[in-house]
Structures are given as structure tokens and as C-alpha cells.
Structure 1
Amino acid sequence: MIIANKKINIYYNDNDNSNTLPVIILNNFEEQINEIITECRHINSKEFILVEITNINWNKEMSPWKITSLFKNEEPYLGNADEYLKVLETEIIPEIEKEIEKNNKKVKYYAIAGYSLSGLFGLYSGYKTDKFKKIITASGSMWYPNLENYIKENKISSKVESIYFSLGNKEKISKNSILKSVEEKTKLIQEYLSNKVKTIYEENEGNHFTETAKRIAKGIKWSLEN
């Protein structure tokens, strides 16, 4: 289905016995929903509904504020996360709820998940709305300039109960001085937020592009249990 020019895929990962389920909103760079569900079943995650949103203007809509491009010919980071979050809350989620209700299901709570820049967007959303109870940031862009200061100078929503952080153990290996800070900054942010909500930092094998669906699935499993 198409809502607000975004492609929406919904998957009911349940056995039809539960009518009230957690709904995980996943903003994704490309469609991976079947692969993610397969991984979730492989690791025996609890039941949930996965809503995958694609056709996102990645560097524009997932970035919280403007920064210069990190590489030559890269699209600029335009900082339109607030605008996209408003569309998500006022246009996309209400239509998703209607679709879920058509399938005789109800929303237990919402969680937000993301990989890379959308992992950053998920964490940022926790500071801008009370909509999400859980946050999953798999290989999130915690390198983003001024993010650490923003986290410390603002309050995360009191509705957020847990945040999952993960990285690949080779992600810090970069010639780019900003990207190479990702592990250090992820750990600092996770440690700081651990005083506010339940958090975990999980390290995976590989670089930023290794087993992305599996990393998202691991975050979903932990989030559903915490």
C-alpha cells in the first residue's frame, strides 16, 4: 500500500491467537521485510506486527539537522526529520491502524526501528514524540555531528521504556574521521541513556553492511522482551 508517497508493507508475525500485538515501525532503505521476518522466526522472537516503510528520501528525511556531505557526490543531509515524523504520526500511522483493525488486530504499543541513518531517526523520535515505547537502532548513525550534545541537553520521552543499540565490530574502521567515531559515540550515548531507560549495546561481527536483516531481527527480539 502507498501512504504519503511511501510504500508500506505489513506483516503479521503471529499465530492468529493474539488479537493485541506490538507494532514495530521500521523505516528502511530497501524492502527487507520477508528476510527480517525469517530471521525473527529463526531466533524465536515473540509475536508482533512489522510495518516496513520504504521509498524514503534517506539523507533528507532521516536526518535531524543539516550537516555537510561526508563524501564527494553524496546527497546532502537536509535535516527534515521533524517534517517526516509529523507525516508519520498524522498520516501514515492512522492509516496503518485502520489496516490492522481490518485484520481484527489491535495495537498493544508502538516501537520504532531503524538501521543506519533510520536508526538515528528512531532515537531522535524518542525526543520529539510520546508515540514509541521501544526504540531499536541497529548499526545506527550515532556518529552524527552534535548528536551526543543533543542527547545530553534534551529529555527523552517518559514513554520510552527500552532502547536497543548495536554495531558491527568493524564499523569504526574508516578513513573518514566522522564515521570512525561511531563505536565510541554509540557506547557513550548508550551509557548515558542507561541512566534514564533500559538499554543494551550489542556488538556483531562485520562492517556496516554485514547481515543487516539479522541485526534488525536481533534488535526486535530484544525489544519485545524488554
Structure 2
Amino acid sequence: MSNVFELAGRTCRTFTAGEGGPIIFVGVMPGGEEFSKIEELLADDEECFTVFGFECREWNDDFSPWSFDGGNGQVFGSGGKETLAWLKVHALPYVRSEFPSCSELAIAGYSLSGLFALWSLYESGPFRGAACCSGSLWFGGWDKYADTHKVPENGVVYLSLGGKEPGSGNLLTASIGTQYQKQKKRLEKDSNLRAFSMIMNSGGHFSDPAGRLAKGIKWLAEELSVY
């Protein structure tokens, strides 16, 4: 059963599978439904890990690393910097106090939260891994940013995408297949990367987000537990 609490202005949820292992943060929508589905899917997992879910307050701002106008009403703020600062200042001290036996730290997310997870790995020393599930890698400025950054030493990255996502939506989001292939090549050249997986799922962007996240979290838990 997950624990629900407020931490420095954000609603958070945690659940633990076994003692010790990595702590995996995941940015989610408000309400708890998505997190509950993830917990249900991972409840019987044999790995030891803790999942720390933190809710956004404004999706297009909280998980956006910088401002971007995508057209067609898709306007994104730059609140990702504030969200990452909140993780470092409030969430990390909390988990280190509450779960002292846990080891490595990782972060996962879906859609824009998936982009935020990968960006946070590039930006942040504490995280060792990221799961970017159907991540918004079409985001303006991402190629320029990612081309000039490396993951932390011994980092691990999980990418997943729905098979029907490439070519769907507007001109911007339709490029996601190409963007994922670029990111794959980028990571394969990253000398800091210890483990990498890219998975193609069935369905489109809105097909089984919780299931895709659960797969990514499980992969992170396995990779970070054996290192």
C-alpha cells in the first residue's frame, strides 16, 4: 500500500518492494490513479526497490526544461528547473532519511515527464539512471542540448516508444520516431553509459502509460541492483 504525503508543496507517494535497492523517482499527473496502477503492476516484483512518485502542478510547465512554443496551442514554460531543484533540496534528503538502506537513485517519466527524466539525468549528479517512456524528444532545442551533454559515469538509460507513435499527431510530434533514433545513436556513443535498452511497444502514445512506466522502472531496478 502506498504512502501519501505532502512535501514542500507537492503531493508525493511512495511504495517499497523489499528492503534496500534503488530509489526510482517518477513524475506523475495529480490524483494518484497513474501511480496506483504502477504500484499494482510492480507489487509482486522480485527486485528490491522504492518508487517515489511526485505530482505535477502544471504539466506543461513543471516538466519542461526550458520555454518552448510548439504551435497549435502547445506552449511550454521553464518550470523543469524548479522541479529539479525541488527534487534536490526536498525529495532527496527525505528519501535518504526515510530509506537509508536504499542505494542508487534513478528517475522515470512518461511523455513530457519522460523528457524531464532524461534531462534530469544529464543535469544532475545524484541520478544514475533514467527511464524515458514515450518521451517528448521532439521538444524544441533538445538535439542541441543532448548533443553537448553526457550521462553520469556508469549511467543507465531505458527508452521506450509505441509502435504507432511515429508519424502520428501534428508535424512536431510526428517526428518522434526520428528523434528516438537520434537519441539511441547519441547514447550508444556516450562513453559514460554502462547499460542501455530501447523497447518498442504496441499501440500509440496513450496506450498503457502505466504499463510502459512499470517496465522502465523494473529495468532500472534490475540494472541498478546488480551494479
Q: Normalized against structure 2, the TM-score is what?
A: 0.87
Unpaired runs of 5+ residues, structure 1, are: none
> Shift of residue 41 of structure 1?
4.1
Contact (CA 8 Å) 2:111, 2:136: kept in 1 or not?
yes
Q: Does 1:207 align with 2:211?
A: no
Kindly tell me: are residues 37 and 177 of structure 1, through their superposed partners in 2, closer, same or farther at Cα, counting changes over 3 Å?
same
Report which stretch shifted further, 48-57 or 92-101. Answer: 92-101
Q: Which runs of 5+ in 2 are unaligned?
A: none
User: Is 125-134 or 32-41 further displaced after alignment?
Assistant: 32-41
Q: Does residue 52 of the first structure (1) align with residue 53 of the second (2)?
A: yes
Question: Once the two structures are superposed, what CA deviation does each residue of 1:24-43 show, in whole Å capped at 9, x if it has no partner?
Answer: 1011124222211222246x
The match for 2:38 is 36
Structure 1 stretches of 4+ moved >3 Å:
none
Amino acid across the alignment from 2:118: L
Letter in 2 for 1:12: T
TM-score normalised by length of structure 1 = 0.88
Q: Which residue of 2 aligns with 1:192?
A: 186
Query: How far is 1:175 from its partner?
Result: 4.1
String of CA shifts for 1:51-103, please: whole Å, max 9, x gaps: 1111432111211111114433x5x21122122211110112212333335xx
Contact 2:167 2:177 in 1 (8 A): no
Q: Distance in 1 between matches of 2:152 and 2:48?
A: 25
Whether contact under 8 Å (1:45, 1:221) holds in the other structure is: no
CA contact 2:23–2:52 (8 Å) conserved in 1: yes
For 1:69-218, list aligned pairs within 5 A. 69-72=70-73, 74=74, 76-101=75-100, 106-158=101-153, 160-196=154-190, 197=193, 198-218=195-215
Aligned partner of 1:64 in structure 2 is: 65
